[in-house]
């Protein structure tokens, strides 16, 4: 089933939470809503589910207005952040719940319920836990129960709120691969909320990056990582080195020195230069306009992490960390030149709070 | 053999490593415990024993006769009726109020919470007088009630009203913290799975609070049966008609019928003991229900 969100607006009292969200999720797609806390991602998910209502805008499921329906009628599978398992029911009864509360006419028989529950528990690989209670399960097991319970009603769409948020790192990695594989198997349109970029990039077909109630970018994981549409996205996803620069007359200057960089169509004025730490070449100071002192060198896997203090005439120095190959000879205290190989330049947004000042 | 050796080793190890400061000083511990036990014995256990001793002081037949006496029977019956009515109404009210307070945000919520506690802070005599002022012959609605031949004060309806007022915090007070702690996620999950509001209430909300609810009902019942002050003001003390057990006990006592007074009192005392036992059991269940929160 496809989901279409048109111009959604929502606020809590005087605080705007969503400011005009437009989003189209195709049938069978697995989409991540990625953003920092307070970006409105969970509210968006709850509105799509029917747990919250917007002030303006439309939500359509397969073209029909979903806002006319309550959560009960929308047939969505919702997996809560803290699972919200029914604590007084065992795993079997938790999964069977959605089948037992169906209207009498559609309610399956006891043997059909048993078969269905068994099938679901097998799908999420916890058949052996059927008679345990929620408080006897680990976080990862609860997550699987929550998923099986949501899938029991054969939802048209699966919505997951921070599905791996409450798990430890190892379980998290396993579970997200497993969720990716599961989605391939059942192929139900799915939307999940996360603040973890790694999770979004690894699991989702497409990533929606949210900030302050607005969509910054929608794209494949490669898109948002390699071609970030805004300063916020570049900063939020992956590691970035950022430098304050000025754009004037088609030239980019840092600390009153003109750098041989393309302004990439950025309008004149204050701007910000973004570079991935591995997209910088370390050269001799004479060959680069960005120069600094090496403060610290540490080996990290196949790379070196080099802390450099970039010198400025006008203001205090800027500390940044770049990556170099292990075989490069770099010593603490030496002067070094930095040459950006790939970079992006974005005009400073009006709301400069989104980018931490250097 | 090796198992035993291991156990012995562990015990020896624990004894050796227990820090000195953590070891209780026997005298201090003994003193604290005996003060607590003595206090309980003098102020609670002794009076309780005295009630039963007095009740049975002229033998079991005198005790049985005192309870079989028609006025005593009427008082017991009335007390049971009053308790049944007020506990049922407060059960519903308590659930609704706790539900509203724990699961919704609305204006006047803190005011409602304050009003729920009001009967705890008001003297029972005042609680009774309020109803006399409202429904009594000289009261606000008195003339209208008289004109329509409706009796409230010095009749059963007045006693029910006073008891309701005095006991209405018990159920709500037990439920509110538990419901607030449990939040609304399980209900939301049930709705998302297609359950109706009613079905969600009976399948999810009620089972989650059942032990706390039972505990609240128990306390509510104990107070409903034992209430003296408020009921005394509105009852009129008509023997065989508007006397509840506590009022009946007082009348008997004032008439120097000690055996009969203590016989009826022993029933109320028994109720207290049973309530305490049930409370202890329930607290264990509530404790494990709370630990179930993840």
Asked if B294's CB is within 8 angstroms of A134's CB, the reply is: yes
> How many Å apart are CA A25 and CA A204, to the nearest integer?
12
Chain B residues inside the 8 Å CB shell of A133: 292
The pLDDT assigned to A354 comes to 46
Residue B182: other Cβ atoms inside 10 A? 21
Q: Which chain A residue is nearest to residue B199, measuring alpha carbons?
A: A101
- Element at A291 (helix H, strand E): strand A290-300
Whole-number CA gyration radius for chain B: 25
The pLDDT assigned to B187 comes to 92
Q: What is the pLDDT of residues A144-187, one digit of tens each?
A: 999 999 999 989 999 999 888 777 778 888 888 888 888 888 88
Residue B127 has pLDDT above 60, yes or no: yes
Top pLDDT among A203 and B285 is at A203
Q: What is the pLDDT of residues A234-274, one digit of tens each?
A: 889 888 888 888 888 888 888 878 887 888 878 888 888 89
Chain B residues inside the 8 Å CB shell of A97: 190, 193, 195, 203
> How many Å apart are CA A127 and CA A115, to the nearest integer?
12
CB pairs under 8 A between A and B: 74
SS3 A75: coil
Chain A residues inside the 8 Å CB shell of B195: 72, 97, 101
Q: Where are the beta strands (DSSP E) in A13-55?
A: 15-25, 30-34
The pLDDT assigned to B14 comes to 54
Asked if A78's CB is within 8 angstroms of B203's CB, the reply is: no
The pLDDT assigned to A268 comes to 82
> How many Å apart are CA A93 and CA A136, to the nearest integer?
15
Q: Which residues pair with A244 in a beta bridge?
A: A272
In 3D space, the residue among B193, B201, B195 whose CA is nearest the CA of residue A159 turns out to be: B193
**A contact test, residue of B103, B181, B191, B194 with most A CBs within 10 A:** B194
The pLDDT assigned to B293 comes to 45
Top pLDDT among B150 and A294 is at A294
Asked if A78's CB is within 8 angstroms of B188's CB, the reply is: yes
pLDDT, chain B, mean: 82
> How many Å apart are CA A347 and CA B163, to the nearest integer?
72
**What is the full DSSP assignment across B256-282?**
T-HHHHHHHHHHHHHHHHHHHHHHHHH
Top pLDDT among A319 and B175 is at B175
Residue A99 has pLDDT above 90, yes or no: yes
pTM for this structure?
Answer: 0.77
Q: What is the pLDDT of residues B176-214, one digit of tens each?
A: 989 988 888 899 999 999 998 889 999 999 999 988 898
Q: Is A153 on the interface with B (CB under 8 A)?
A: yes
Q: Is A41 on the interface with B (CB under 8 A)?
A: no
Name the range with the highest mean pLDDT among B128-132, B197-201, B256-260.
B197-201
> How many Å apart are CA A143 and CA A85, to the nearest integer?
9
Asked if B186's CB is within 8 angstroms of A51's CB, the reply is: no
Asked if A72's CB is within 8 angstroms of B192's CB, the reply is: yes
Contacts of A51 (CB under 8 A, 6+ apart): A71, A78, B188, B192
In 3D space, the residue among A45, A47, A43 whose CA is nearest the CA of residue A32 turns out to be: A45
- Residue in A80, A135, A142 closest to B189 by CB: A80
Q: What is the pLDDT of residues B96-106, one digit of tens each?
A: 999 888 888 88
Chain A residues inside the 8 Å CB shell of B289: 87-88
A54 with A9: CB under 8 angstroms? yes
Q: What is the pLDDT of residues A298-356, one digit of tens each?
A: 888 888 888 888 877 767 778 888 888 877 788 888 888 888 888 888 887 655 444 44
What's the whole-number mean pLDDT along residues B218-225?
A: 88
Residue B164 has pLDDT above 60, yes or no: yes
SS3 A301: coil
Residue B186: other Cβ atoms inside 10 A? 23
Return residues 238-267 of A near B (CB < 8 Å): none
Q: Which residues pair with A323 in a beta bridge?
A: A305
Contacts of A41 (CB under 8 A, 6+ apart): A33, A34, A35, A193, A194, A195, A210
Q: Quote the Cα angle for A340-A342-A344, to 5°.
A: 100
Round to the nearest angstrom and report the end-to-end CA distance of chain A: 45
SS3 A1: coil
What's the whole-number mean pLDDT along residues A96-118?
A: 92
């Amino acid at each position: 089933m496809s989901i279409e969100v048109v111009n959604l607006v929502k606020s809590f009292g005087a605080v705007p939470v969503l400011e005009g969200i437009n989003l189209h999720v195709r049938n069978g797609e697995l989409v991540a809503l990625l953003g920092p806390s307070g970006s409105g991602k969970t509210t968006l998910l709850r509105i799509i589910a029917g747990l919250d209502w917007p002030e303006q805008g439309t939500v359509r499921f397969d073209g029909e207005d979903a806002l006319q329906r309550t959560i009960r009628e929308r047939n969505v599978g919702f997996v809560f952040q803290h699972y919200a398992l029914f604590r007084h029911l065992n795993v079997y009864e938790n999964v069977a719940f959605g089948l037992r509360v169906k209207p009498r006419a559609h309610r399956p028989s006891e043997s059909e319920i048993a078969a269905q529950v068994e099938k679901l528990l097998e799908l999420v690989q916890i058949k052996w836990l059927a008679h345990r209670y929620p408080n006897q399960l680990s976080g990862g097991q609860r997550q699987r129960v929550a998923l099986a319970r949501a899938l029991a009603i054969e939802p048209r769409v699966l919505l997951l709120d921070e599905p791996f948020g409450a798990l430890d790192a190892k379980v998290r990695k396993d579970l997200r691969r497993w969720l990716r594989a599961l989605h391939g198997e059942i192929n139900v349109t799915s939307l999940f909320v996360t603040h973890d970029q790694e999770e979004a990039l690894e699991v989702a077909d497409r990533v929606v990056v949210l900030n302050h109630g607005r969509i910054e970018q929608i794209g494949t994981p490669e898109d948002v990582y390699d071609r970030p549409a805004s300063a916020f996205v570049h900063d939020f996803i992956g590691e970035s080195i950022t430098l304050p620069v000025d754009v004037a007359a088609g030239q980019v200057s840092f600390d009153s020195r003109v750098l041989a960089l393309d302004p990439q169509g950025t309008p004149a004025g204050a701007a910000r230069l973004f570079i991935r730490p591995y997209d910088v070449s370390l050269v001799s100071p004479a060959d680069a306009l960005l120069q600094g002192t090496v403060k610290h060198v540490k080996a990290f896997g196949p790379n070196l992490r080099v802390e450099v203090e970039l010198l400025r005439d006008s203001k205090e120095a800027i500390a940044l960390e770049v990556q170099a190959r292990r075989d490069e000879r770099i010593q603490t205290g030496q002067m070094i030149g930095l040459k950006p190989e790939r970079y992006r330049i974005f005009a400073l947004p009006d709301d400069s709070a989104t980018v931490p000042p250097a | 053999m090796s198992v035993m050796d291991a156990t012995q080793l562990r015990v020896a190890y624990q004894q050796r490593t227990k820090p000195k400061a953590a070891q209780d000083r026997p005298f201090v511990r003994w003193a604290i415990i005996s003060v607590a036990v003595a206090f309980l014995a003098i102020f609670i256990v002794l009076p309780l024993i005295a009630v039963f001793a007095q009740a049975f002081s002229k033998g079991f037949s005198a005790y049985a006769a005192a309870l079989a006496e028609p006025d005593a029977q009427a008082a017991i019956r009335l007390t049971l009726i009053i308790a049944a009515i007020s506990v049922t109404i407060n059960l519903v009210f308590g659930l609704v109020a706790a539900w509203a307070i724990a699961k919704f945000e609305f204006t006047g919520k803190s005011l409602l919470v304050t009003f729920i506690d009001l009967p705890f802070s008001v003297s029972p005599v005042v609680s009774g007088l309020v109803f006399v002022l409202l429904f009594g012959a000289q009261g606000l609605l008195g003339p209208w009630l008289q004109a329509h031949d409706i009796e409230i004060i010095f009749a059963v309806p007045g006693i029910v009203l006073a008891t309701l007022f005095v006991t209405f915090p018990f159920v709500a007070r037990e439920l509110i913290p538990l419901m607030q702690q449990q939040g609304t996620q399980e209900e939301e999950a049930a709705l998302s799975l297609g359950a109706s509001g009613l079905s969600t209430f009976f399948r999810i909300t009620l089972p989650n609070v059942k032990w706390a609810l039972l505990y609240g009902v128990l306390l509510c019942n104990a107070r409903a049966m034992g209430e003296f002050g408020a009921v005394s003001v509105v009852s009129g003390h008509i023997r065989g008609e508007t006397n509840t057990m506590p009022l009946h006990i007082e009348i008997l006592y004032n008439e120097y019928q000690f055996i009969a007074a203590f016989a009826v009192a022993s029933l109320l005392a028994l109720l207290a003991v049973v309530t305490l036992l049930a409370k202890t059991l329930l607290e264990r269940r509530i404790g494990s229900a709370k630990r179930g929160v993840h």
